[in-house]
């Protein structure tokens, strides 16, 4: 597993207050983790802080799975 994936998982666990055992590359934020729009906002904010990046609203809407987030963040790093 990549370092980026592990850091993304840390943000998800922290924001959603869940166990990390349920999180893999194919995990969907809305369907699997039950993230609502506010959760999604805090996830994106958490990713931006953790990786010192900026994610536009347009790009944020494209991040449906953990894999989407990991790949997008890796393109910015």
- Active-site annotation, residues: 36
Q: Which two tokens stand for residue 42?
A: 């805090």
For residue 12, give the nearest of 62, 67, 77 by alpha carbon: 67
Contact assessment for residue 7 and residue 49, using Cβ atoms and an 8 Å cutoff:
no
């Amino acid at each position: 597993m990549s370092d980026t994936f592990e850091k993304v998982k840390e943000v998800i666990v922290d924001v959603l207050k869940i166990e990390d055992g349920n999180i893999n590359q194919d995990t969907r934020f809305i369907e699997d983790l039950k993230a609502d729009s506010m959760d999604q906002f805090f996830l994106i904010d958490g990713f931006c802080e953790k990786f010192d990046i900026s994610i536009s609203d347009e790009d944020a809407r494209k991040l449906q799975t953990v894999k989407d987030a990991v790949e997008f963040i890796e393109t910015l790093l």
